[in-house]
Amino acid sequence: MNDPLPRALYSASQVRDLDARLIAAGTPGIELMHRAAHAAWRALRRRWPEAAEITVLAGHGNNAGDGYLMAVLARKAGWQVKVLAVGEPTALRADAALALAEARAAAVDIEPWSETAPLQGVLVDALLGTGARGEVREPYASAIAAINASGQPVLAVDLPSGLCADTGRVLGAAVRADLCVTFIGLKLGLLTGEGPALTGELVFDGLQASAEILAQVPSSAQRLADEQLPRLAPRSRTAHKGSFGQVLVIGGDLGTGGAALLASEAALRSGAGMVSLATRPEHVVASLVRQPEVMCSGVESTYGLGALIERADVLVIGPGLGQAPWGRSLLSITGQCEMPQVWDADALNLLATGAVELPPRCVITPHPGEAARLLGCSTAEVQADRPAAVRALAERYRCVALLKGAGTLIADAEGRLALCDRGHPAMATAGLGDVLSGLIGALLAQHLDLFEAACLAAWLHARAGERMGSLGRGLCASELIPAIRQILEEQSPCLK
């Protein structure tokens, strides 16, 4: 599978550090600016080969310098070119001022921005880039609004203006781009929060930064990429069901029995040696009809659950559990167990109340609302800084935390952070989290560690969503399960 983006993800300050190190190593800043302009110009022509006109909206930082040099390239190619200076050109300094001088020498038409200025051709957003601080102010907010209302194709230079490079938060207003060309280091905020909705097609150009320079600045996170994902070992021809663990799924209160059935089926189809289900007695028949391979036990209370737990290697608790006395009592027992566990859904909501404590060796899989309850803040605060939220969850609960949503994030208590940028909008439907929890349980049963299992599960789940989501809206969670099985076999073949 072709994946043109790098694995390392950086903050804005880290990319500025890399930029400074490139310059210190002998590459002039204006040369880097020329490389950026050429990269963006190439991407523009590939995306819109029939275009013959651009309007560059330029701010007053290095991002504006890239825009002025793009205008020079378009002018030399015979295109209709106009630069609308939203930032005062006289405020440009250093390399950006040199870029402005080149544009003037090439007779590029440069005019002051006004709300009545026509926006024609491909619009080049060279307003703010990674230099934005705080909420976007005027006149930039009006310029961004005009870009978004224009109906014209939009290329963002380095990052859509108004998008926080570190968190994916919108700083009051942000450009909605069709194409974004980003440089040197891939910014974390492009791939999580609101980043995926604003970036459009993402193109990366390293500006010829050497591996030696990149190695000098540790990245803040790693993007999950096929060639570097954890893999399950091939199975011996003498393997048996006991070699790959028994997953016990606990959940499915009255009215929500399907969630536990989805988690159980996902665990079975993802390679667990055996799968048991502890659920309401009313759901036993449905489980036997749906998936007779799952060993389903009806439990009225904690009586009898202990024996099921003793036989299990991994617990998955929460899908359809509810917060009534039945679910609370079952959760209270698992909180005292030491085997690897996956906590999801109402297990997390009960954890947030303080009614139970999270045992060691756990993966938690909250959506933003559940994460907010676990952290004692609002959902908006979680979404405003998803990387900080998932790190806080991992540290507070000493676990592996998987924060669901666009740009799913996985963190552990040791400081590792991974991001999954795959997925499909058709996945916005109920039940997919139950499938994910069962999948993680199966990978744990097959001897991956907590962080590896969470990372591989997030990627498999998202890739299955892409495959099935390509058929359109109306995706059912159960449809992901056979796709996950197929993709897992492609990624980690059962036999050598």
Mean pLDDT of 379-390: 98
Q: Is residue 18 domain-resident?
A: yes
Residue 294's alpha-carbon distances to 170, 277, 291, 303, 494, in angstroms, are 45, 7, 6, 20, 21
Same domain, 424 and 311: yes
Q: Could you give the CA distance from residue 496 to residue 483 in angstroms, rounded to a whole number?
A: 21
DSSP letters of 391-415?
Answer: HHHHHHHTSEEEE-SSSEEEE-TTS
Same domain, 110 and 159: yes
Q: Could you give the CA distance from residue 430 to residue 475 in angstroms, rounded to a whole number?
A: 9
Is pLDDT at 165 greater than 80 in this prediction?
A: yes
Query: Residue positions in the annotated binding site for K(+)?
Result: 63, 125, 161
DSSP structural state of residue 427: G
Is pLDDT at 60 greater than 90 in this prediction?
A: no
Query: Residue positions in the annotated binding site?
Result: 63, 125, 129-135, 140, 158, 161, 259, 320, 367, 404-408, 433-434
263-313 pLDDT, tens digit per residue, is 999 999 999 999 999 999 999 999 999 999 999 999 998 888 999 999 999
Residue 55's alpha-carbon distances to 17, 44, 294, 369, in angstroms, are 31, 12, 61, 41
Mean pLDDT of 345-352: 98
Q: Is residue 233 domain-resident?
A: no
Residue 200's alpha-carbon distances to 136, 154, 165, 389, in angstroms, are 21, 9, 15, 25
Any idea what the CATH number is for the domain that residue 170 is in? 3.40.50.10260
Any idea which of 164-173, 255-264, 297-306 has the lowest mean pLDDT? 297-306
Say how many domains are in the chain.
Answer: 2
Contact 296, 277 (CB under 8 A): yes
Residue 342's alpha-carbon distances to 58, 255, 263, 338, in angstroms, are 49, 22, 11, 12
Is pLDDT at 330 greater than 70 in this prediction?
A: yes
Any idea what the CATH number is for the domain that residue 299 is in? 3.40.1190.20
Mean pLDDT of 232-253: 96
442-483 pLDDT, tens digit per residue, is 999 999 999 999 999 999 999 999 999 999 999 999 999 999
Contact 9, 221 (CB under 8 A): yes
Mean pLDDT of 322-335: 95
Any idea which of 32-41, 225-234, 446-455 has the lowest mean pLDDT? 225-234
Question: What percent of the chain lies above the pLDDT cut of 90?
Answer: 94
Nearest to 177 by CA among 114, 222, 127: 127
| pLDDT band, very low/low/confident/very high, at 182 (cuts 50, 70, 90) | very high
| pLDDT band, very low/low/confident/very high, at 327 (cuts 50, 70, 90) | very high
Among 196, 223, 250, where does a domain finish? 223
Query: Residue positions in the annotated binding site for (6S)-NADPHX?
Result: 129-135, 140, 158, 259, 320, 367, 434
Same domain, 219 and 294: no
| Structure tokens that stand for 274 in this block | 């055996």
Among 191, 223, 255, where does a domain finish? 223
Any idea which of 191-195, 227-231, 408-412 has the lowest mean pLDDT? 227-231
Query: Residue positions in the annotated binding site for AMP?
Result: 404-408, 433
Q: Could you give the CA distance from residue 89 to residue 467 in angstroms, rounded to a whole number?
A: 48
Q: Is residue 230 domain-resident?
A: no
| pLDDT band, very low/low/confident/very high, at 1 (cuts 50, 70, 90) | low
Q: Is residue 177 domain-resident?
A: yes
Same domain, 218 and 245: no
Same domain, 213 and 247: no
5-22 pLDDT, tens digit per residue, is 999 999 999 999 999 999
Is pLDDT at 49 greater than 90 in this prediction?
A: yes
Q: Is residue 272 domain-resident?
A: yes
Q: Which residue has the tokens 């796709």?
A: 483
| Structure tokens that stand for 488 in this block | 């897992």
Q: Is residue 192 domain-resident?
A: yes
How many CB atoms within 10 Å of residue 242? 10
Same domain, 264 and 150: no
Same domain, 348 and 247: yes
Same domain, 73 and 181: yes
Among 190, 223, 256, where does a domain finish? 223
Same domain, 70 and 121: yes
| Identity of the residue numbered 37 | A
Same domain, 279 and 405: yes
Q: Could you give the CA distance from residue 248 to residue 313 in angstroms, rounded to a whole number?
A: 8
What does pLDDT average to over the chain? 96
Q: Could you give the CA distance from residue 434 to residue 439 in angstroms, rounded to a whole number?
A: 9
Contact 238, 407 (CB under 8 A): no
> Domain residues for 321?
241-491
Q: Is residue 482 domain-resident?
A: yes
Q: Which residue has the tokens 């404590």?
A: 357
Same domain, 190 and 134: yes
Q: Inter-axis angle of helices 368-375 and 386-397, to 10 degrees?
A: 50
Same domain, 215 and 284: no
* pTM of the shown model: 0.95
Q: Is residue 3 domain-resident?
A: no
Look at residue 112 in the predicted model and tell me its pLDDT: 95
The stretches of 170-227 forming alpha helices (DSSP H) are: 195-199, 211-214
